[in-house]
Chain A
Amino acid sequence: MSERDVADPGSATPGATSTATAQVGGFGGRQASLTADAWRELRRNPLFIFSGAIIVLMLTIAVFPALFTRGVDPRDKQQFPCLLQNTVARPSADHWFGYDIQGCDYYSRVIYGARPSITIGVVVVALSVIIAVVVGTVSAFYGGLIDTVFSRVTDVFFGIPFILGAIVFLSAIQGVEILGFITLDGGVSTVVIALTVFGWTTLTRLMRSSVLSAKDMDYVQAARALGASNRRLMVRHILPNAITPVIVYGTVSVGLIIAAEAALSFLGVGLRAPAISWGLMISESQLRITTSPHLLLFPGLFLSATVLAFLMLGDAVRDAFDPKLR
């Protein structure tokens, strides 16, 4: 891959070129940084407003689920018992999403399913971005042996199909204790680790090629000539100009990771009952799907809406940062 990054003149990343032009100066005397420009562009984009609204709603649901269920907590079986006589009852005015197989109110379960999904999506991407920025920047900046080693390690993890790797990893690490206090017992932290181990590679490759095209820019040369240290070059000059593609793809990844978590829970290797998650609910709906389609419909709808929102947000951010499309 490395040859292509260097040799292809067309692969200069949009983020790097756009910042280069923005650094030249403001438009018409107005001081306009790229971020300010992009922000103005974003606020006018209906795609951004729409996806942003869904994401804010989902985040609020994830943080304060009780707000949306009038205090009903599906985990509290004492106060809100599930009645088997209600099993798979269809949606009604009182219970909008109907009941699940065990006769629990489905609406409150779907609402409480948001937290694990969104936590996993956000934390995995945050960890991956940190790894990507450090590894990608260092290997592209120094090149040579460091680059070769880092790139091959990235290739190794990239070469294993994502879902397959996560399945084997999750099956292998059940019950293992790490750092003395985290027991990998099929909870959120287990899934976060598995998805991060196989999910950091794409972002790292993106960061590396982005830094490769930014590190020889004139302003970097100028800063170097002025005596800036390597660390300063990387942190102050290269990083802000190379990180845009990583931010854009990172946003999209949140959606993809949420979908991957659901797929793993669906396969029975991700989160496990009594955890509440959209993937688990869809997995449970499998047997009843012809008679009780609402069991698939509601978690599927929430899951797809969240994934969709992050994908659209990524699109909107890319459009805002890419002056070629303006």
Chain B
Amino acid sequence: MGRYVARRMLQIIPVFFGTTFLIFAMVFALPGDPIRALAGDRPQPPSVTAVLRDRYNLDDPLLVQYGKYIWNLVQFDLGQSFRGRDVSNIMAETWPVTVKLALTAFVIEIIIGLMAGVLAGLRRGSFIDNLVLISTTLIVSIPVFVLGFTAQVLLGVEWGIFPVAGLREGYPQSYILPALVLASISLAYLARLTRTSLAENLRSDYVRTAVAKGLPRWRVVGVHTLRNSLIPVVTLLGVDLGSLMGGAIITEGIFNIPGVGRQVFLSVRTQEGFVVVGITTVLVLIYLLANLVVDVMYGMLDPRIRYE
């Protein structure tokens, strides 16, 4: 087990460097000159331009720039935006918002998704099963931004149940509607996966044995079936936590929430390369670690799986 985790950590390293370099290369290939843009309409003295370009290492070859960035990164220095703000400050402002939003969405996803999936899986072909199947198919096929808009207009503007946008009402009021929209698609997938997995396992031999032994139904379902059915579900959930944070770009845009998603989008627009790279690096790290945790949990849930 320990060796397996160590090897996986080693595998993460090249992926981490590859991903950050890819983002770095793309961001610094963005058209336009961010240093020139600082001066606006006025002419910029060449000496100022030179100093600024030197401060941000803009005249080095790309690989050297990347090397310097990583060197600073391991010293926990994320650099500055071209407007002179520390990237770490920007992140400290935006990350808590996104984490709160993503975790709220995650909780909503687990509660509603698992419940719908279990109810549908236990009674295949019943009314509730068809209801879950149809509603999840509809949710998945409506693109997030259409769903977000409709929810915003209906629940926010027309009926006034939730705040329309922004965070002025604080937690949890301002977060619930965006979190619901953010969770919607993952929730539908989770419900469908739970349903299929549960229904498949309910027909397996060990469940028949458990029933034949005369165990009460709650025990057959709760202890014998659910435990095995949850293995693929755990994988989905682990990957989801990362995608919820990455997927917040659209949701945060619609509901005007000042989290990393909106920040990263604005930063791409204003060519704030270091902000984009900084935020993406953290996103990638979260994703990689979540995957590792999922793979380790796999072994705990399913004793048939042995780590080499």
What is A's interface to B at a CB cutoff of 8 Å?
A: 1, 3-4, 7-10, 152-153, 155-157, 159-165, 167-169, 171-175, 255, 259, 262-263, 266-267, 282, 286, 289-290, 293, 296, 300, 303-305, 307-308, 311-312, 324
Contacts and interface: CB of A to CB of B under 8 A. Distances in A.
A163 B18 contact: no
Name the 4 nearest CB pairs between A and B, nearest first.
Answer: A161-B246, A156-B18, A308-B141, A307-B141
A300 B146 contact: yes
Given A171-B30, A171-B268, A160 B146 contact: no
Given A7-B305, A167-B249, A282-B145, A308 B137 contact: yes
Contacts of A155: 11, 15, 18
Interface residues of B, number: 57
A160 B141 contact: no
A262 B141 CA distance: 12
A9 B231 CA distance: 13
B92 interface: no
B297 to A, nearest CB: 11
12 contacts: A10-B231, A160-B23, A161-B280, A163-B249, A167-B268, A171-B30, A266-B145, A267-B265, A282-B145, A290-B157, A300-B146, A307-B142
B26 interface: yes
Nearest to B18: A156
B26 A262 contact: no
Given A289-B153, A303-B146, A307-B141, A164 B15 contact: no
Contacts of A169: 26
B233 interface: no
Given A300-B146, A304-B146, 11 more contacts: A157-B22, A159-B15, A160-B19, A163-B246, A164-B264, A263-B143, A267-B250, A293-B153, A296-B149, A304-B142, A307-B142
A311 B26 contact: no
Given A7-B307, A172-B26, A282-B145, A161 B247 contact: yes
B29 A289 contact: no
Interface of B: 4, 11, 14-16, 18-19, 22-23, 26-27, 29-31, 137-138, 140-146, 149-150, 153, 157-158, 200, 231, 242-243, 245-247, 249-250, 253, 264-265, 268-269, 276, 280, 283-284, 287-288, 291, 295, 298, 302, 304-308
B148 to A, nearest CB: 10
B142 A160 contact: no
A123 to B, nearest CB: 19
Contact of B200 (A174, A259, A324): A324
Residue of B137, B143, B243, B306 with most chain A CB atoms under a 10 A cut-off = B143
A40 B29 CA distance: 52
Contact of B305 (A8, A173, A305): A8
Nearest to B143: A259
A293 B144 CA distance: 17
A308 B15 contact: no
Contacts of B295: 1, 3-4
B143 A303 contact: yes
Contacts, number: 140
B146 A167 contact: no
Contacts of B150: 296, 300
A311 B15 CA distance: 31
Given A262-B143, A296-B149, A324-B200, A172 B29 contact: yes
Contacts of B246: 161-164
Contacts of B138: 304, 308
A125 B166 CA distance: 37
Contacts of A293: 153
A199 to B, nearest CB: 14
A12 B26 CA distance: 38
A293 B153 CA distance: 10
B304 A9 contact: yes
A171 B272 CA distance: 12
A163 B27 contact: no
Contacts of A152: 11, 14-15, 18
A160 B284 contact: yes
Contacts of B280: 160-161, 164
Nearest to A282: B146
Contacts of A157: 22
A168 B275 CA distance: 12
Contacts of B283: 161, 164
B19 A156 contact: yes
Nearest to B152: A289
A293 B154 CA distance: 11
B143 A307 contact: yes
B141 A311 contact: yes
B142 A300 contact: yes
A173 B308 CA distance: 43
Contacts of B268: 167-168, 171
B126 to A, nearest CB: 17
A50 to B, nearest CB: 12
A168 B23 contact: yes
A159 B287 contact: yes
Contacts of B276: 168
A286 B145 CA distance: 10
Contacts of B14: 152, 156
B57 to A, nearest CB: 19
Given A308-B137, A308-B138, A290 B146 contact: no
A8 B19 CA distance: 28
B30 A263 contact: no
Given A161-B243, A289-B149, A311 B157 contact: no
Residue of A155, A162, A262 with most chain B CB atoms under a 10 A cut-off = A155
